[in-house]
C-alpha cells in the first residue's frame, strides 16, 4: 500500500531532558523540533555548580560581616580614612600568586576588585570624582581602580575633579596624566603644579578606540565627532578610511557618542563602553593608529602613598635662566644614582618665557637615594615640589592589533591532483629545424 503524499509516519519519541530546566532550555529560542541528546551526568554537574554558588554567596556574606567589624574598630580608633589601597594591592597580589595557574589572573583581579568594592561600601561608601561624562575612558579607569560599588561623581573639567577632592566632596579623583601616543595632558600637569593635591596611585589603561555609527557603510559617513586626543590618535586611520568626512571636535568621547546617536550619517570615536551606554553599533573596532596606545591615569588625594619597594616619585622644579642650569640639576640626579623615567616642561605662569619641569623618578621620596637627590636638587634649582610618591603600575604589554572582521568563506573543495606533465623533448638542432617543413601560419 502506497503512502499518501504529505502523510506523516509514526511519531518518534523525543529524548527526555534530564531536568525540567533542560527541557525549557532546549525549547527556548528555537524553531526546530530536533533536540540534542541528553548528556550523561550534566544534571549532576549543574547541581554541584549551584551548590558551589550558594557556598560562595554564604562566604561573601560572612566577608561583609567581617568588614562591618573592621569598620567599627576603625571608627572607634577615629581613623579618618577607611580605604587602604596598599592593603588591597597586597591582597590582590597574594590571590593572583596563589590561584593564577588555576584561574585567569586578570579575572582574579576583576572578581576580587568587585568583592572588595562591595565590602568597602559596607564599611563606608568611597566617593570618587572623575573626568566625565559617563562613558569616557576615565570612567572606565575609575571603575577598574575602585569597582562598581564606589559612589562616583562625574566632573565636567579636570579642574572640577581637583576642586571635588580639595573640598572633601570626594576622597579621590581620577584624571588622565599622559598618553603613550600624544604625550602629557597639560591641564593635569598645570593643576598639579598649582594645587595642593598629590598623586596617590597610577593606572595604565590600554586605549582601544571604536568607530560608533548607525550608518550601514563607511562611505555614508559624512561627519566624525570626538575629543581632540582621540582624533589625534586615529588620524592615519581616518585619512585612509574616511578621507572626505568632516572632523568635529567635542569636549569628550562620550559627548561625541551623543552627537552621533541622533544622526545616521555621523560617527563617533569613543570607547566600547560608550557604545553600550548610548546604544550605538560598533562599525569598526581598534581604529587607533598604534596598537600599544595606552593612557596613564593618576589618582589624586591629599596625601601620597607609603613606600612599597616598587615606587615612582613625581617632582617639579624650576631653574634660573642661566647657561647649563638644567644640565646641573640633571647631573645632580644622575650622581645620586636616581633613574629618571620622564621629563616634561611647562610654562611658568608667573614669569614669561620661563619654564617649570616635571620629572618622574624611580623610588620613593623616603628612600635614602631619592631623599639625598631631592636635597641636592633643592640647592641647584629655584624651587622643588614633590607631587607624590606612589606604587608603579604594572608594565603594559600591548596585544597585537586585530584585523577588521571579515565574512568567513566556505572552504573550497580540493581539486584532484593533476598528473605531472611529461617533459618536452629537446628542440632539434638548427640544421634539423631548417630541414623540417614549416608549419602553416
* Residues 294-313: tens digit of each pLDDT: 999 999 999 999 998 999 99
Return phi, psi of residue 345, to 5°: -110, 140
Q: What is the DSSP letter of 369?
A: H
Q: What is the pLDDT of residues 86-141, one digit of tens each?
A: 777 788 888 888 886 788 887 887 888 778 777 777 667 789 999 988 888 899 89
Q: What integer is the mean pLDDT of 411-423?
A: 45
**CA separation for the pair 295, 206 (Å, rounded):** 6
What pLDDT is recorded for position 242? Answer: 95
- CATH number for the domain running over 56-124: 1.20.59
Sequence spans of domains, the chain: 56-124, 128-205+299-303, 210-292, 305-391
Same fold flag, 56-124 and 210-292: no
Q: Which of 140, 139, 92 shows the shortest CA–CA distance to 112?
A: 92
- In this model, does residue 253 exceed pLDDT 60? yes
pLDDT, one tens digit per residue, over 363-376 is: 999 999 999 999 99
Q: What is the 3-state secondary structure (H, E, C) of 85-140?
A: HHHHHHHHHHHHHHHCCCCCHHHHHHHHHHHHHHHHHHHCCCEEEEECCCCCHHHH
Residue 26 burial by Cβ neighbours in a 10 Å radius (0-12, 13-18, 19+)? middle
- Please report which helix (H) or strand (E) contains residue 237, including its range: helix 235-241
Higher pLDDT, 342 or 351: 342
What is the predicted pLDDT for the residue at 178? 93
pLDDT given at position 413: 42
Q: Does this model's pTM top 0.75?
A: no
Higher pLDDT: 5 or 225? It is 225
**Fold that domain 210-292 belongs to in CATH:** D-Maltodextrin-Binding Protein; domain 2 (3.40.190)
Query: Which residues have a catalytic role annotated?
Result: 295, 297
More confident residue, 341 or 33: 341
Phi-psi group of 200: left, alpha or beta (phi > 0 → left; psi -120 to 50 → alpha; rest → beta)? alpha
The Cα 378–Cα 374 span in angstroms is 6
Is the pLDDT reported for residue 235 higher than 90? yes
Q: Determine the pLDDT at residue 415.
A: 46
**Sheet containing 210-213: order of strands:** 246-249, 223-226, 266-270, 210-213, 282-284
pLDDT(66) > 80: yes
In percent, the amount of the chain with pLDDT more than 90 equals: 40
Helices and strands: H and E segment counts in the chain: 14, 15
Higher pLDDT, residue 390 or 398 = 390
**Per-residue pLDDT for 231 more than 90?**
yes
Tell me how far apart the alpha carbons of residues 77 and 66 are, in angstroms, rounded to a whole number.
Answer: 17
- Can you tell me whether residue 46 is helix, strand or coil? helix
The CATH class of the 305-391 domain is: alpha beta
The mean pLDDT value of the chain amounts to: 80
Long-range contact pairs involving 374-380 (C-beta distance under 8 Å, separation at least 24): 374/315, 376/332, 376/335, 376/336, 377/315, 377/317, 377/329, 377/332, 377/333, 380/319, 380/325, 380/328, 380/329, 380/332
Residue 44 has pLDDT above 70, yes or no: yes
* Percent of the chain whose predicted confidence (pLDDT) is above 70: 79
**pLDDT at residue 35 in the model:** 59
Reduced to 3 states (helix: H, G, I; strand: E, B; else coil), residue 360 is strand
The single residue listed with the C-alpha cell 584624571 is 175
- pLDDT for 400 beyond 60: no
CA distances to 216, 259, 394, 432 from 211, rounded to whole Å, are: 12, 13, 28, 72
Rounded Cα distance between 180 and 395, Å, is 13
Are residues 292 and 398 in contact, defined by beta-carbon separation less than 8 angstroms?
A: yes
CATH superfamily of the domain spanning 128-205+299-303: Periplasmic binding protein-like II (3.40.190.10)
Amino acid at each position: 500500500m502506497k503512502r499518501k503524499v504529505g502523510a506523516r509516519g509514526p511519531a518518534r519519541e523525543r529524548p527526555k531532558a534530564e531536568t525540567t530546566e533542560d527541557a525549557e532550555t532546549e525549547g527556548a529560542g528555537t524553531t526546530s523540533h530536533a533536540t540534542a541528546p541528553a548528556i550523561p551526568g550534566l544534571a549532576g554537574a549543574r547541581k554541584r555548580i549551584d551548590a558551589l554558588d550558594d557556598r560562595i554567596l554564604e562566604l561573601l556574606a560572612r566577608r561583609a560581616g567581617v568588614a562591618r567589624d573592621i569598620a567599627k574598630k576603625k571608627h572607634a580608633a577615629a581613623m579618618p580614612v577607611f580605604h587602604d589601597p596598599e592593603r588591597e594591592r597586597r591582597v590582590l597580589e597574594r590571590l593572583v600568586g596563589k590561584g593564577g595557574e588555576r584561574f585567569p589572573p586578570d579575572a582574579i583581579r576583576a572578581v576580587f576588585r568587585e568583592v572588595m568594592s562591595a565590602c568597602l561600601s559596607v564599611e563606608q561608601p568611597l566617593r570618587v570624582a572623575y573626568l566625565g561624562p559617563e562613558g569616557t575612558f576615565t570612567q572606565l579607569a575609575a571603575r577598574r581602580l575602585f569597582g562598581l560599588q564606589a559612589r562616583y561623581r562625574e566632573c565636567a573639567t579636570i579642574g572640577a575633579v581637583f576642586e571635588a577632592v580639595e573640598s572633601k566632596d570626594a576622597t579621590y579623583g581620577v584624571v588622565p596624566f599622559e598618553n603613550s601616543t600624544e604625550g602629557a595632558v597639560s591641564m593635569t600637569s598645570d593643576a598639579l603644579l598649582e594645587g595642593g593635591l598629590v598623586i596617590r596611585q597610577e593606572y595604565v589603561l590600554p586605549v582601544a578606540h571604536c568607530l560608533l555609527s548607525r550608518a550601514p557603510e563607511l562611505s555614508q559617513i559624512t561627519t566624525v565627532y570626538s575629543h581632540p586626543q582621540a582624533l589625534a590618535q586615529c588620524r592615519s586611520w581616518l585619512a585612509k578610511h574616511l578621507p572626505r568626512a568632516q572632523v568635529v571636535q567635542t569636549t569628550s568621547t562620550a559627548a561625541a557618542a551623543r552627537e552621533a546617536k541622533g544622526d545616521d550619517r555621523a560617527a563617533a570615536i569613543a570607547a566600547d563602553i560608550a557604545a553600550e551606554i548610548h546604544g550605538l553599533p560598533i562599525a569598526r573596532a581598534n581604529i587607533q593608529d598604534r596598537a600599544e596606545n595606552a593612557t596613564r591615569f593618576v589618582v589624586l588625594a591629599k596625601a601620597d602613598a607609603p613606600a612599597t619597594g616598587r615606587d615612582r616619585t613625581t617632582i617639579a622644579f624650576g631653574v634660573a635662566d642661566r647657561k647649563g642650569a638644567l644640565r646641573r640639576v640633571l647631573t645632580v640626579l644622575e650622581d645620586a644614582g636616581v633613574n629618571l623615567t620622564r621629563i616634561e616642561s611647562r610654562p611658568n605662569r608667573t614669569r614669561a618665557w620661563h619654564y617649570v619641569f616635571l620629572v618622574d623618578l624611580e623610588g620613593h621620596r623616603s628612600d635614602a637615594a631619592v631623599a639625598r637627590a631631592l636635597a641636592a636638587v633643592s640647592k641647584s634649582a629655584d624651587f622643588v615640589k614633590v607631587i607624590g610618591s606612589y606604587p608603579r603600575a604594572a608594565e603594559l604589554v600591548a596585544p597585537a592589533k586585530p584585523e577588521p572582521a571579515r565574512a568567513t568563506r566556505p572552504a573550497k573543495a580540493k581539486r584532484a591532483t593533476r598528473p605531472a606533465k611529461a617533459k618536452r623533448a629537446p628542440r632539434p638542432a638548427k640544421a634539423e629545424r631548417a630541414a623540417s617543413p614549416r608549419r602553416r601560419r
